[in-house]
């Protein structure tokens, strides 16, 4: 995105980045100097704030703070009215300890972790349950429940991606399916114990490698270091180019079910195949194809790649979903509704709502 310095200063003077400790800087300064801070693309949130300013009455009365911490904010915000905090990258889905002392918190990912198992895969399902138990333990004693009802989930957006110019029609793309990302994570007992993320991604890559051996299709699978170091890998620089030329983007889970890759695939007009997604508002109508078992993948890939008309329809669904749900303009509308709603009595938390009032997960798509 190309914001001029004057535009950024005019639009975002009350949007601050927590740099650690008591240090904060305006998002405009960070956007100009280091647009990839906080492991998110600041340009995405700069546009989000610009769109929110157009919708939110008295926008200048709010102070917007972007941080990774769920335990503390700089003390200067303790006496600041209408502080709205954006928490980036808390994959353990904790409730920030300061949530009750600020006006609102928006989290990417949200504050609820969901158990999503794979059909007939005992080892994976066991590790998923172990991870869920660890997550629940991390929420005690200060990160258990949203007692203030002011925490809202938002999508990740995209990470370190250039703005798209034109979207290449899907049947003109040269890469049939691709995945760029990490498999290895922090070693547990020397690698003897593997997380749900590692197990899932290893299975996916194994299945793809077996499938492509006797197929005429173009497959691009690149493995990088785990996420904090991935941006330093040479293959990361090629990622946007690959994604823009990919028909089917594979989006396996990370520590959390939701990853940047799902948003990024939709943004560039790919057909996205992913695992089950969280029950967040923005996942309700997702056109992503959901797999319960990566062994289903060869059949799904064959069916899609042999059907150009369906690929074109699914590409349009991805682009439409981006514009209606994931784009900064759409998310800004959701933020506006959440913030203005806080001036009226709050509805019950998702944990306390009847099941039929909760947002529903994407349905598994039969291809």
Domain CATH number, residue 198 = 3.40.50.2000
Q: Are residues 11 and 94 in the same domain?
A: yes
Q: Are residues 237 and 300 in the same domain?
A: yes
Residue 337 lies in a domain: no
Length of the chain as a residue count = 367
- Model confidence pLDDT, tens digit, residues 20-57: 778 887 777 776 666 555 556 777 888 899 999 999 99
Given a cut of 80, whether residue 152 has pLDDT beyond it is yes
Q: Are residues 181 and 207 in the same domain?
A: yes
Q: Are residues 143 and 36 in the same domain?
A: yes
What is the pLDDT, as a whole number, of residue 42? 78
Q: Are residues 35 and 137 in the same domain?
A: yes
Omega cis (within 30) before 140: no
- For the four alpha carbons of 363, 256, 74 and 16, in that order, the dihedral sign comes to negative
Which of 74, 72, 57, 59 lies closest to 16 in space, CA to CA?
A: 74
d(CA 115, CA 37) in angstroms, rounded, equals 30
| Contacting residues for 117 by C-beta, under 8 A, at least 6 apart | 124, 125, 128, 292
DSSP E strands in 52-95: the ranges are 63-67, 83-88
Q: Which residue has the higher pLDDT, 195 or 361?
A: 195
Given a cut of 70, whether residue 236 has pLDDT beyond it is no
What is the pLDDT, as a whole number, of residue 92? 79
Residue 345 lies in a domain: no
Residue 357 lies in a domain: no
How far the first Cα of the chain sits from its last, in Å, is: 36
Please identify, among 312, 327, 342, the residue that sits at the C-terminal boundary of a domain. Answer: 327
**DSSP secondary-structure letter at 325?**
I
Q: What is the mean pLDDT of the chain?
A: 81
Q: Give me the number of domains the chain comprises.
A: 2
Give the residue numbers spanning the domain of 174.
170-327
Q: Are residues 184 and 299 in the same domain?
A: yes
Residue 205 lies in a domain: yes
Strands 63-67 and 83-88: parallel
What is the pLDDT, as a whole number, of residue 164? 84
d(CA 59, CA 13) in angstroms, rounded, equals 11
What is the pLDDT, as a whole number, of residue 61? 92
Please identify, among 92, 123, 153, the residue that sits at the C-terminal boundary of a domain. Answer: 153
Strands 289-290 and 271-274: parallel
- Model confidence at 115, in pLDDT bands (50, 70, 90)? confident
Given a cut of 60, whether residue 339 has pLDDT beyond it is yes
| Contacting residues for 223 by C-beta, under 8 A, at least 6 apart | 181, 182, 183, 205
Residue 279 lies in a domain: yes
Given a cut of 50, whether residue 305 has pLDDT beyond it is yes
Residue 243 lies in a domain: yes
Q: Are residues 206 and 147 in the same domain?
A: no
What is the pLDDT, as a whole number, of residue 182? 82
- Give the percent of the chain with pLDDT over 70: 78
Mean pLDDT on 157-176:
89
Omega cis (within 30) before 266: no
What is the pLDDT, as a whole number, of residue 113? 75
- Model confidence at 167, in pLDDT bands (50, 70, 90)? very high
d(CA 314, CA 272) in angstroms, rounded, equals 9
CA angle 206, 210, 216 (to 5 degrees): 130
Q: Are residues 125 and 186 in the same domain?
A: no
Q: Are residues 101 and 200 in the same domain?
A: no
Given a cut of 80, whether residue 102 has pLDDT beyond it is yes
Q: Are residues 217 and 136 in the same domain?
A: no
Residue 235 lies in a domain: yes
Q: Are residues 257 and 323 in the same domain?
A: yes
Q: Are residues 315 and 194 in the same domain?
A: yes
Q: Strand, coil or helix: what is 347?
A: coil
Q: Which residue has the higher pLDDT, 304 or 162?
A: 304
Which of 127, 256, 251 lies closest to 194 in space, CA to CA?
A: 127
What is the pLDDT, as a whole number, of residue 222? 85
Residue 366 lies in a domain: no
């Amino acid at each position: 995105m190309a914001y001029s310095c004057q535009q950024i200063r005019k639009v975002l003077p009350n949007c601050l980045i927590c740099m650690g400790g008591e240090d904060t800087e305006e998002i405009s300064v960070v956007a100009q100097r280091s647009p990839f801070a906080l492991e998110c693309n600041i340009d995405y949130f700069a546009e989000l704030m610009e769109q929110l300013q157009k919708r939110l009455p008295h926008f200048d009365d709010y102070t917007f703070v972007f941080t990774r911490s769920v335990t503390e904010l700089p003390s200067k915000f303790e006496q600041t009215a209408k502080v709205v905090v954006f928490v980036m990258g808390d994959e353990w889905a904790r409730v920030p300890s300061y949530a009750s002392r600020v006006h609102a918190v928006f989290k990417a990912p949200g504050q609820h972790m969901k158990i999503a198992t794979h059909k007939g895969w005992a080892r994976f399902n066991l590790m998923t349950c172990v991870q869920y138990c660890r997550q629940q333990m991390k929420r005690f004693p200060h990160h258990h429940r949203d007692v203030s009802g002011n925490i809202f989930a938002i999508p990740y957006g995209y990470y370190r991606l250039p703005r798209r110019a034109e979207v290449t029609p899907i049947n003109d793309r040269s890469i049939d399916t691709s995945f760029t990302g990490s498999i290895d994570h922090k070693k547990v007992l020397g690698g003897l114990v593997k997380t749900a993320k590692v197990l899932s991604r290893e299975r996916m890559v194994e299945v793809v490698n077996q499938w492509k051996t006797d197929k005429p299709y173009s497959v691009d699978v690149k493995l990088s270091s785990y996420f904090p170091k991935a941006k330093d890998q040479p293959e990361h620089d090629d990622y946007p180019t690959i994604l823009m030329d990919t028909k089917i983007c594979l989006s396996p889970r990370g520590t959390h079910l939701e990853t940047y890759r799902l948003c990024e695939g939709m943004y560039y007009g790919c057909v996205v195949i992913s695992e089950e997604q969280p029950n967040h508002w923005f996942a309700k109508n997702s056109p992503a194809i959901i797999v319960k078992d990566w062994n289903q993948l060869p059949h799904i890939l064959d069916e899609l790649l042999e059907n150009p008309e369906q690929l074109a329809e699914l590409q349009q669904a991805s682009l439409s979903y981006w514009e209606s749900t994931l784009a900064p303009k759409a998310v800004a509308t959701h933020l506006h509704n959440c913030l203005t709603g806080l001036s009226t009595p709050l509805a019950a938390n998702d944990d306390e709502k009847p099941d039929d009032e909760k947002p529903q997960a994407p349905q598994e798509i039969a291809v």
